[in-house]
Chains A and B, each alone.
Chain A
Amino acid sequence: MIHSLFLINNAGDLFLEKHWKSVISRSICDYFFEAREKAVEPDNVPPVIRTPHHYLINIYREKIFFVSVIQTEVPPLFVIEFLHRVAETFQDYFGECSETTIKDNVVIVYELLEEMLDNGFPLATESNILKELIRPPTILRSMVNTITGSSNVGETLPTGQLSNIPWRRAGVKYTNNEAYFDVVEEIDAILDKSGTTVFAEIQGVIDACVKLSGMPDLTLSFMNPRLLDDVSFHPCVRYKRWESERVISFIPPDGNFQLMSYHISAQNLVAIPIYVKQNISFFETGSSGRLDITVGPKQTMGKTVECLVVTVHMPKVVLSANLSATQGTYNYDPVTKILLWDIGKLNPQKLPNLKGSLSLQSGAPKPEENPSLNIDLKIQQFAISGLKVNRLDMYGEKYKPFKGVKYVTKAGKFQVRT
């Protein structure tokens, strides 16, 4: 399936290559570079590129292109999903997935890639198994390693691979047994000029951090499971119990993982926490424009909106902005043409406002389109869909774990058209 993998940074330097079958010359990447140049933006590089004898399937993540070489028919999503899994594994191991960390840990990266694919077919992609095979680097361990010459390859053999629950390590032990769940909801919305909702939906995930000894069997139930009509689960979740009882029953992987994600698309259920009043206009003459944005709370259920940020991608002709903000700070980057207004906490008594003039390139025609606003926000201890965890039960082990649930609502792809 997957023949080779090349990692290429944003500047076009190929800094890592790995082959699982015969070696393929790195000159194959010339086709990629060609497409990269044509696309201008890295986002626009087609994920599948055809070359005379091979196919290149690539993803762009954390400013790195993961370019894989394919020779025969294979579902493209299979490869794309795998490449993302590779990137996630790097992130898991090194804290971040960047060119520097990959270069610093090149041997571990190589060992990981070796274990993840055999002859181009995925072998071990569960982080629990991989961590048993190859220990993630820590500062302490690397120091010990340099002094004693010991290695970061696990002495034990990956028993997880043999078991029926490949996602969990065997013999987990903790002195403090704890299980935390984060319900994170993101609002995706498009509001039109007048403030009416064109489209809105909620994307939710439940991230878990489970540090429990032994083989705990957990059951998570909700107060209102009927809200969730479209869900996807980590492989550890038993589909059948969800279908019949609407509870999530699972033996968790050890450590951090995403338990489930869900999607609520019924528009009447989606509350829009803020409203935006904006007026951006460009004058026919005098190469200038005016900008006036006010943000206010709408449906916040009494919670405070925090980390409010408004981002505006200005048209190319806007040279500079001379604005004044009643709250927070603003910054206009004349190179990327991005106006960023960092408001912070939303105060319902005194609505934040950003007002002033824009100066345009002289002589250039006035821009046709008004730029749309992207909103970022955060509401703590609140799930906008109203989803609530009812209880978490544990079977199979005797100790009493410490349990916790946290709710956060964020803005996802939240856009206001002007």
Chain B
Amino acid sequence: MIHLIMDTFLRYLKEREQEQLVKILSFMFYIFRHDDLKEMLDSNKDSLKLEAMKRIVAMIARGKNTSDLFPAVVKNVACKNIEVKKLVYVYLVRYAEEQQDLALLSISTFQRGLKDPNQLIRASALRVLSSIRVTIIVPIMMLAIKEAASDMSPYVRKTAAHAIPKLHSLDPEQKDQLIEVIEKLLADKTTLVAGSVVMAFEEVCPDRIDLIHKNYRKLCNLLIDVEEWGQVVIINMLTRYARTQFLNPNINESLLEDSSEKAFYASDDEEDEDKKAEAAALVKRKPYVMDPDHRLLLRNTKPLLQSRNAAVVMAVAQLYFHLAPKAEVGIIAKALVRLMRSHSEVQYVVLQNVATMTIKRRGMFEPYLKSFYIRSTDPTQIKILKLEVLTNLANETNISTILREFQTYIKSMDKDFVAASIQAIGRCATNIGEVRDTCLNGLVQLLSNRDELVVAESVVVIKKLLQMQPEQHSDIIKHMAKLIDNIQVPMARASILWLIGEYCEHVPKIAPDVLRKMAKTFTNEEDIVKLQIINLAAKLYLTNSKQTKLLTQYVLNLAKYDQNYDIRDRARFIRQLIVPTDKSGALSKYAKKLFLALKPAPVLESPFKDRDHFQLGSLSHLLNAKAGGYQELPEWPESAPDPSVRNVEVKDSVCARRTVLTGPEGAGVLLLQTTRGILISLFRQMTHELLHHSHSEQSSGTEDRKRGRKAVKNQKSSSESESESESSESEDESEEESEEESESDTNIRKKKTIAPSGSIKMYELLHRITGEGLAVEYCFSRQPFSPDPNMVAVQIQFTNNTNSETKNLHIEEPRLQSGMRIREFAEIGLQPSESVTVVMGIDFCDSTQAANFQLCTHTRKFFVSIQPPVGELMTPVFLTENDFKKEQGKRMSAHPRFSTPSCSIRVTATANLSRVPCGSDKECRFAGKTVSSGCLVLVTVTTKEGGRAQLTVNCEKMVIGTMLVKDIMQALSQ
């Protein structure tokens, strides 16, 4: 070794003398230091090892090669010191690929780690093992991933999900097996795993959209609790998924758009036919109904627009842009504008996307026009993008403001930006006819600017504008012809020459003179200018051959000997075409037509046009080119694929259905139809529940669950029978469901809880965060509490979100107002991720005071309180119309009020009352009594003309009456 060093040392000294000496010395030092490190690593002091590892890692960080230390380092893989161990892992992952054989020595340590009782050690072992890129251990990795995928700990499962893409890139042949693991992990219900496994899905099998069906609703529902990076990946994936599974929400609008466009271009008789055809098409097309799952996605992603993470906001924005009905897309504008305040890199990306969006949906960003105003301190690339957005946003109404802004920009010191501003003015002028002359005048003024770049850019833009209406502007052309003496920028010179050639008839005196001047300087011009000189010569030869014949010959001769073959070619071609000879072909007859044909004016388009075929927010969109691994955003399907594929087991589908009912559309449907059919069916449903309850006097576990199911079913069938808006497909689907339900074993739904019907509201007793994984919700089930008829039944649902069993759940130390009583539930225990429902009774003494008590587990106590809305303090009473009137006469304290059009459902939702059968359509009556004292409560809602209604509440208890009026009023006026 020393010999070798000496050799190099001498050679270098000979070649480069002094300065290299330093390098060599440091190199020698380097070698010896490595020996030194080896010694330290071999010592049995942890501190020495640590010092050595730190130095090695610092060398890796600087990009120095330390691979020769591999054997010495790998020995320490089982070191007790955590930091040494971690640094060894860092080293190992970095160099294992290069030293495969030696790396194998460490594998057994990790295999041992995989079996450790501590989940974090298992996870870190898997993490390092899967990061070692050595093909020989692929089977070991596969086995470890499979095992970890069914690990008890969600953290280990998350690590397994991370390991999948690593193995896939190491050995793509494992794909099929890995897909199985992905499928399994996709079914995982914890938020920790969701983001990582979707990431794995995207890298390994993004086309297997079928794997998502069953997990779609779960992913939508978990989304808000997933960590931010996972959210981005999931939202992007779901955007693609939704494009394959749902119908275009704007389908009817796009049809309308088409028709208007057609009408514009079509001739009269065609139009009639067209109209007929369109009408037929419109009739044929079913009214668009959004799939509830589509709605679910839109609803659950919306709050994420408020994320602090720009990537999440962008992901939601692109989801809305690609999937939402036109009317709803607007909400993303505000969030995107907010991102503009962020770091300049974020601004850059956001502006690119906004530029694309503004082309399609201009109206969305118009209110935020001023947020895109440019500051002199913005970086140039941001300025240019803002300019792009401003140009896209320009229309007849705001153009004057925008042009005033542009005027300030033209004076900027940043010349690239000025050039872009001039182009922007040009684009505004072409798009908006009204301001064309103003813009043109402004640009002509710029021609006398001192900065040559500004003048050149103006010339180019003016040329384009003039092409639209050359007749009126021959004075501008003359002015520009004069400029040719001064402007040196080739593009501008070429533009002027083209302009003169094209419109030589408007400037018959000047044109030949310009050609004369140009012929003089021909040899010194740039290539594009030379081409335009030839062009000008040819055009003049054709229109004014008397004056220019010789000049043209001269120019063509110069061009013939030019260095550039393009110019030589062009000269030869033009000579053949315009100068008639014996041999000249048929074409020369048409030379004039060829050269002086009327040319269409150029369309100044945004470079962001049509960029939206790339998924917004993607790298490919930013580059306007497909990046590796980019998944195309599919077109909407013609007809929706079967939505039932997303139904999971009954439990989940019921949940989904519930959301539909309580969601805005469901509510809308119910509320719009104020026919009696609904009321009666709702009434029927309530009696159903009551009847059923009388069968099962003791609330034993299984009975309870059955009842819940029945209640859900009843509610479902009733809601289906009335709500016509539900598509036939979903009806089929739910029929299937109910069949399934009746057949399926009750065991499946052991954990099934009583799903509250649409009108029963769940309240939170203990949030799962405060409860350290224990979530408690309660609702007023509105069923008589059988052990004590004076108590209100409160149904409590416990969900254990932790990984350990929660034992001895019970109530302690109730702190109650005087007279209030509590009937506790029996002590229960919860398995991990189990949820259980119990019923307890509280006598509130007809007051809305809260009942406070402690909820105890075997480890913790939580202070909680239940406060009943006044409407829950009563139970329904069945009265006839006559009885009702009789009773009403006796009661005092009527509260006549006026309110907006009402609906009985809202009344029964607010208060636990029953409907009194009634002859008149205009009146709705409800009766009930308070639970503990049995006072009658009578409610009358009378509809009056002009959409007004009168509400009357009769009750002996003033307080209850007044509170009830308030609550019902609120419910009705919502």
Q: Smallest distance from the beta carbon of A215 to chain B beta carbons, Å? A: 7
Q: A365 vs B449: C-alpha distance in the bound complex, in angstroms?
A: 12
Size band of the interface chain B makes with A: 35 or more
Select A369's contact among B224, B313, B413, B770, beta carbons within 8 Å.
B413
* Partner-contacting stretch, out of A92-100, A198-206, A287-295, A399-407: A198-206
Q: Smallest distance from the beta carbon of A162 to chain B beta carbons, Å? A: 5
Q: A413 vs B377: C-alpha distance in the bound complex, in angstroms?
A: 9
Contact of B47 with A149 in the complex, beta carbons under 8 Å: yes
Contact of B370 with A198 in the complex, beta carbons under 8 Å: yes
Contact of A165 with B769 in the complex, beta carbons under 8 Å: yes
The verdict on A276 contacting chain B, using a C-beta distance below 8 Å, is no
Contacts of B121 in A (CB 8 A): 157
Contacts of B192 in A (CB 8 A): 162
Most chain A CB inside 10 Å of its own CB: which residue of B86, B118, B131: B86
Instruction: List CB contacts (< 8 Å) of B766-784 with chain A.
Output: 767-770, 772-773
The verdict on A36 contacting chain B, using a C-beta distance below 8 Å, is no
The verdict on B634 contacting chain A, using a C-beta distance below 8 Å, is no
Contacts of A190 in B (CB 8 A): 373, 375
Contact of B306 with A70 in the complex, beta carbons under 8 Å: no
* Partner-contacting stretch, out of B225-233, B429-437, B504-512, B918-926: B225-233
The verdict on A11 contacting chain B, using a C-beta distance below 8 Å, is no
* Partner-contacting stretch, out of B554-562, B625-633, B655-663: B625-633
Interface of A is mostly: mixed
Contact of A23 with B94 in the complex, beta carbons under 8 Å: yes
Q: A371 vs B801: C-alpha distance in the bound complex, in angstroms?
A: 61
Residue of A nearest to B164 (CB): A119
Contacts of B770 in A (CB 8 A): 215, 217, 251, 395-396
Q: Smallest distance from the beta carbon of A223 to chain B beta carbons, Å? A: 21
The verdict on B623 contacting chain A, using a C-beta distance below 8 Å, is yes
The verdict on B637 contacting chain A, using a C-beta distance below 8 Å, is no
Contact of B311 with A233 in the complex, beta carbons under 8 Å: no
Contacts of A369 in B (CB 8 A): 411-413
Contact of B165 with A73 in the complex, beta carbons under 8 Å: no
Q: A23 vs B99: C-alpha distance in the bound complex, in angstroms?
A: 14
The verdict on A315 contacting chain B, using a C-beta distance below 8 Å, is yes
The verdict on B759 contacting chain A, using a C-beta distance below 8 Å, is no
Contact of A230 with B338 in the complex, beta carbons under 8 Å: yes
Interface size on A, residues (CB 8 A): 100
Contact of B349 with A80 in the complex, beta carbons under 8 Å: yes
Which chain A residues have a beta carbon within 8 Å of chain B's beta carbons? Answer: 1, 14-19, 21-23, 26, 41, 43-44, 46-48, 50, 55, 58-61, 70-78, 80-82, 84, 106-107, 109-111, 114, 118-119, 121-123, 125, 149, 151-155, 157-158, 161-162, 164-166, 188, 190, 192, 198-199, 201, 203, 215, 217, 229-235, 239-240, 243, 251, 258, 261, 263, 265, 313, 315-316, 365, 367-369, 371-372, 374, 395-396, 413, 415, 417
Q: A119 vs B166: C-alpha distance in the bound complex, in angstroms?
A: 7
Residue of B nearest to A166 (CB): B227
The verdict on B83 contacting chain A, using a C-beta distance below 8 Å, is yes
* Partner-contacting stretch, out of B7-15, B340-348, B690-698: B340-348
Q: A19 vs B93: C-alpha distance in the bound complex, in angstroms?
A: 9
Contacts known (A15-B62, A47-B348, A77-B314); A151 close to B57, Cβ less than 8 A: no
Contacts of A19 in B (CB 8 A): 94
The verdict on B900 contacting chain A, using a C-beta distance below 8 Å, is no
Select B628's contact among A71, A188, A215, beta carbons within 8 Å.
A71
Contact of A251 with B61 in the complex, beta carbons under 8 Å: no
Contacts of A234 in B (CB 8 A): 308
Contact of A55 with B627 in the complex, beta carbons under 8 Å: yes
Residue of A nearest to B375 (CB): A415
Residue of A nearest to B203 (CB): A72
Report, nearest first, the 8 A-B pairs whose CB atoms are least far apart: A149-B47, A72-B629, A151-B83, A43-B379, A157-B120, A153-B83, A73-B630, A122-B229
The verdict on B261 contacting chain A, using a C-beta distance below 8 Å, is no
Contact of A46 with B61 in the complex, beta carbons under 8 Å: no
Q: A372 vs B349: C-alpha distance in the bound complex, in angstroms?
A: 27
Which chain B residues have a beta carbon within 8 Å of chain A's beta carbons? Answer: 45-47, 50, 54, 57-58, 60-63, 81-84, 86-87, 89-90, 94, 97, 118-121, 127, 130-131, 133, 153-155, 159, 162-163, 165-166, 169, 192, 196, 199, 224-225, 227-229, 232, 236, 303, 306-311, 313-315, 334-335, 337-338, 341, 343-346, 348-350, 368, 370-371, 373, 375-377, 379-381, 405, 408, 411-413, 449-451, 617-620, 622-623, 625, 627-631, 767-770, 772-773, 801
Q: A200 vs B606: C-alpha distance in the bound complex, in angstroms?
A: 28
Q: Smallest distance from the beta carbon of B522 to chain A beta carbons, Å? A: 31
Q: A109 vs B619: C-alpha distance in the bound complex, in angstroms?
A: 28
Contacts of A198 in B (CB 8 A): 370, 373, 405
Extra contacts besides A78-B232, A199-B373 (7): CB < 8 Å: A106-B57, A106-B58, A118-B131, A217-B769, A233-B308, A265-B337, A316-B413
Contact of A55 with B769 in the complex, beta carbons under 8 Å: no
Contact of A76 with B619 in the complex, beta carbons under 8 Å: yes
Q: Smallest distance from the beta carbon of A405 to chain B beta carbons, Å? A: 21
Residue of A nearest to B305 (CB): A232
Residue of A nearest to B862 (CB): A396
Q: Smallest distance from the beta carbon of A50 to chain B beta carbons, Å? A: 6
Contacts of A59 in B (CB 8 A): 343, 345
Contact of B311 with A81 in the complex, beta carbons under 8 Å: yes
Contacts of B380 in A (CB 8 A): 41, 43-44
Contact of A110 with B61 in the complex, beta carbons under 8 Å: yes
Contacts of A395 in B (CB 8 A): 770
Select B338's contact among A18, A165, A232, beta carbons within 8 Å.
A232
Select A233's contact among B87, B131, B307, B346, beta carbons within 8 Å.
B307
Contact of A73 with B631 in the complex, beta carbons under 8 Å: yes
Q: Smallest distance from the beta carbon of B239 to chain A beta carbons, Å? A: 11
